[in-house]
Amino acid sequence: MSAGSYPDLPAAPPAPLKQHRQSYHDARVLLALVMREVTTRFGRTPGGFIWAIMQPLGQIIILGFAFSLIARNPALGTSFLLFKATGILVFQAFKTTSNMIGKSLSYSNKLLSYPGVEWPHALLARFILNIFVNLVVSILILSGIIIAENLTLIMDWKPVFLAYCLAWILSFGIGALNCYLFERVDIWSNVWGIMTGPLMIVSGVIILYEDLPPVAQEILWYNPLLHITGLMREGFYSTYTPGYISIPFVLACGMIPMVLGLMLVRKHHLYLLNR
């Protein structure tokens, strides 16, 4: 080193290395939050995960039995249980996931004060866990019904996969917007509960879109869940071809509140956490 020269400064780590470290950190935080959610939701009550199966299964059995008393055959196929299951399961995938995401900030409030834990981690952890739970519950219940009733189906998995993907996109969008509104507007949680109370009745779970009166069809077409349940049943019933489904409409219903909700939470999350 010549006189008057300065020692070389250490070179900054390359950008790919920084990105790798950040990705590894995010993965660890998400895993920790998911495991905490599993312990809290399923580890503190007798039966644990069994209740996640019993709740939709109970609804399916009750509705299937009730409608078998007033009709000889379901609207599609020969199984009342399968008909109700194909509507209830994808509907519950939306409802439970959107509710969980909407309460992410209040649920993880204390954890978000730790360095390295950010608000997107809280939303994504609940979203990931609910996707896993939805899939496991749906596979167990649907396969159980098919085996128990010895049903022979000609299935198309593409509409089924698409129905769940759309349900999760819609649930994340509504959940992200509610994540802001639940914390910002004190009565919004109660208002939302009143608004979504009868949602199952008007979402194609109980009655097919085609069996509704024309006036009801014109109004309820704007319910994106009606399109999702129609897609789900299209995959299970080869003779059912719902012509009313609009995938771009459902995507818009999910993406618009998602962008708006994430922007609002990003801008106001510190205020919301310290209210």
Label residue 24 exposed, middle or buried (CB < 10 Å: 0-12, 13-18, 19+): exposed
pLDDT tens digit string along 27-57? Answer: 888 888 888 888 888 777 666 778 888 888 8
Report the pLDDT value the prediction gives residue 18, as an integer from 0 to 100.
Answer: 59
- pLDDT(5) > 70: no
Report the pLDDT value the prediction gives residue 270, as an integer from 0 to 100.
Answer: 82
How many independent structural domains does the chain possess? 1
Give a yes or no: residue 260 inside a domain: yes
Percentage of the residues of the chain whose pLDDT score is greater than 90: 52
- pLDDT(196) > 90: no
pTM of the model: 0.88
Report the chain's mean pLDDT, rounded to a whole number: 87
Can you give the residue range of the structural domain that contains 240? 29-273
Percentage of the residues of the chain whose pLDDT score is greater than 70: 90
Average pLDDT over residues 146-167: 93
Residues 212-243: b if buried by 16+ CB within 10 A, e if exposed: beeeeeeebbebbbbbbbbbbbbbbbeebebe
- Radius of gyration from C-alpha coordinates of the chain: 23
Average pLDDT over residues 171-185: 94
Q: Count the neighbouring beta carbons within 10 Å of the beta carbon of residue 246.
A: 12
- Residue 97 C-beta-side C-alpha neighbours within 13 Å: 29
Give a yes or no: residue 258 inside a domain: yes
Report the pLDDT value the prediction gives residue 15, as an integer from 0 to 100.
Answer: 57
pLDDT tens digit string along 114-128? Answer: 778 888 999 999 999
pLDDT tens digit string along 93-117? Answer: 999 999 999 999 888 888 888 778 8
- pLDDT(214) > 70: yes
DSSP state of 221: T
Give a yes or no: residue 5 inside a domain: no
Q: Specify whether the CB–CB gap between 59 and 89 falls below 8 A.
A: no
Judged by average pLDDT, the poorest of 6-15, 71-80, 131-140 is: 6-15
Give a yes or no: residue 15 inside a domain: no
Give a yes or no: residue 23 inside a domain: no
For residues 250 and 145, give the distance between their C-alpha atoms in angstroms, rounded to a whole number: 29
Q: Is 173 left (phi over 0), alpha (psi -120 to 50) or beta?
A: alpha
Cα 146 versus chain centre, distance:
24
Average pLDDT over residues 2-7: 53
Report the pLDDT value the prediction gives residue 114, as an integer from 0 to 100.
Answer: 78
For residues 218 and 231, give the distance between their C-alpha atoms in angstroms, rounded to a whole number: 18
- pLDDT(3) > 60: no
Give a yes or no: residue 12 inside a domain: no
- pLDDT(166) > 90: yes
Give a yes or no: residue 139 inside a domain: yes
Give a yes or no: residue 175 inside a domain: yes
Judged by average pLDDT, the poorest of 13-17, 116-120, 205-209 is: 13-17
